[in-house]
């Protein structure tokens, strides 16, 4: 079974289980925050930041007694910080590992579908690649764009840091056993990756599909454009879920925030505005 189709089937199954076993998280509105106060600290996957920020700002405008902080750091940092009690929510762009759940007693809440797109500068004439070509590029075997039908120029590689959920999905699903070349420049967030590639005519990297815009060109992979529609149906195979995670059961304020993201019309809009697809 293709990995993208597997994730799509898993998504449907996970959505059913999530709804069945977490009924307290099925619906929320701003009014649920009326009587609450306190602090929610959030860190982890950078793909989540636009959604978290949008929700945080609306909640804090509604109720000044609530303070919400949002930071990045990558999926690995999200797991570590929430597991050690440094934040209330640790975000990941990948599923939790069994070892992480066992070590920290984490609970996980999927809320959106995203894909990971290979991106190049918009002026690059190369618009389509095969999986094998991408593997050879990131392994350092293909080093010039002319080998791919482009201009005679060295390929500049960009990759994410160890612990990045985006990197893990990209490596596991697309690169498979390929080891990324040590010549690749390491970038620490989706936003910074987009900026790096947008400023390099010969660059190539990868970002969550939600981060693609006119400043970078999403490469057609094996004949499939990297769109969220294609990711949601499993046609585009480099896909993932986005998760919020807590250590044990969340406190009332944190639980209300999670419910607001996963079960409200506002949460759905925040997710869609960020370029992702809400889990129904």
Following DSSP, what letter does each residue of 10-52 receive, concatenated?
HHHHHHHHHHHH-GGGS---GGGGTT--EEEEEEE-GGGHHHH
Token representation of residue 274 = 């960020």
Contact 260, 62 (CB under 8 A): no
**Quick count: other Cβ atoms within 10 Å of Cβ 199?**
11
Contact 156, 145 (CB under 8 A): no
CATH number 3.90.850.10 given to 3-113+241-278: no
Among 17, 89, 47, CA closest to 211: 47
pLDDT at 54 > cutoff 80: yes
Among 56, 27, 25, CA closest to 39: 56
Intrachain domains 3-113+241-278 and 115-233 with the same fold:
yes
State how far the alpha carbon of 190 is from the alpha carbons of 32, 113, 203, 265, in Å.
Answer: 32, 16, 15, 26
Confidence of residue 56 (pLDDT cuts 50, 70, 90): very high
- Please give the mean pLDDT across all residues of the chain: 91
CA distance linking residue 209 with residue 237, whole number of Å: 12
Q: If you average pLDDT over residues 25-32, what whole number do you get?
A: 76
pLDDT of residue 275: 87
Confidence of residue 79 (pLDDT cuts 50, 70, 90): very high
Higher pLDDT, 46 or 12: 46
pLDDT in tens, 145-169: 999 999 999 999 999 999 898 999 9
**Quick count: other Cβ atoms within 10 Å of Cβ 124?**
23
Q: Which of 20-29, 35-44, 56-65, 192-201 has the lowest mean pLDDT?
A: 20-29
Q: Where do the structural domains in the chain lie, given as residue ranges?
A: 3-113+241-278, 115-233
pLDDT of residue 28: 75
- 252-263 helix and 49-62 helix, angle to the nearest 10 degrees: 120
Q: Give the up-direction half-sphere exposure of residue 60: CA atoms within 13 A in the CB hemisphere.
A: 13
Confidence of residue 27 (pLDDT cuts 50, 70, 90): low
Confidence of residue 17 (pLDDT cuts 50, 70, 90): very low
Q: If you average pLDDT over residues 96-115, what whole number do you get?
A: 95
State how far the alpha carbon of 131 is from the alpha carbons of 98, 141, 176, in Å.
Answer: 29, 14, 10
Following DSSP, what letter does each residue of 204-238 receive, concatenated?
EEEEEGGG--TTSEEPEETTB---HHHHHHTSS-S
CATH architecture for segment(s) 115-233: 3-Layer(aba) Sandwich (3.40)
Share of the chain above pLDDT 90, in %: 83
Contact 81, 43 (CB under 8 A): yes
Q: If you average pLDDT over residues 185-208, what whole number do you get?
A: 96
């Amino acid at each position: 079974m293709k990995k993208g189709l597997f994730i799509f089937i898993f998504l449907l199954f996970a959505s059913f289980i999530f709804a069945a076993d977490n009924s307290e998280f099925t619906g929320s509105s701003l009014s649920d925050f009326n009587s609450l106060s306190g602090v929610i600290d959030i860190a982890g996957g950078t793909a989540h930041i636009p959604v978290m920020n949008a929700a945080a700002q609306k909640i804090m405008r509604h109720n000044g007694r609530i303070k919400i902080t949002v930071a990045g750091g990558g999926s690995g940092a999200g797991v570590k910080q929430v597991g050690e009690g440094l934040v209330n929510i640790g975000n990941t762009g990948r599923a939790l590992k069994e070892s992480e759940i066992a070590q920290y007693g984490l609970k996980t809440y999927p809320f959106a579908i995203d894909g990971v797109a290979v991106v190049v500068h918009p002026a690059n004439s190369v618009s389509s690649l095969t999986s094998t070509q991408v593997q050879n590029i990131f392994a350092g075997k293909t080093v010039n764009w002319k080998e791919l039908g482009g201009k005679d120029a060295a390929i500049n590689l960009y990759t994410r840091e160890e612990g990045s959920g985006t990197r893990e999905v990209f490596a596991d699903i697309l690169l498979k056993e390929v080891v990324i070349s040590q010549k690749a420049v390491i970038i620490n967030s989706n936003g910074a990756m987009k900026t790096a590639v947008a400023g390099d005519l010969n660059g190539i990297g990868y970002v969550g599909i939600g981060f693609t815009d006119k400043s970078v060109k999403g490469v057609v992979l094996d004949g499939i454009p990297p769109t969220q529609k294609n990711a949601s149906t499993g046609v585009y195979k480099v896909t993932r879920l986005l998760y919020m995670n807590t250590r044990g059961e969340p406190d009332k304020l944190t639980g209300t925030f999670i419910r607001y993201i996963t079960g409200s019309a506002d949460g759905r809009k925040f997710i869609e505005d960020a370029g992702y697809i809400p889990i129904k």
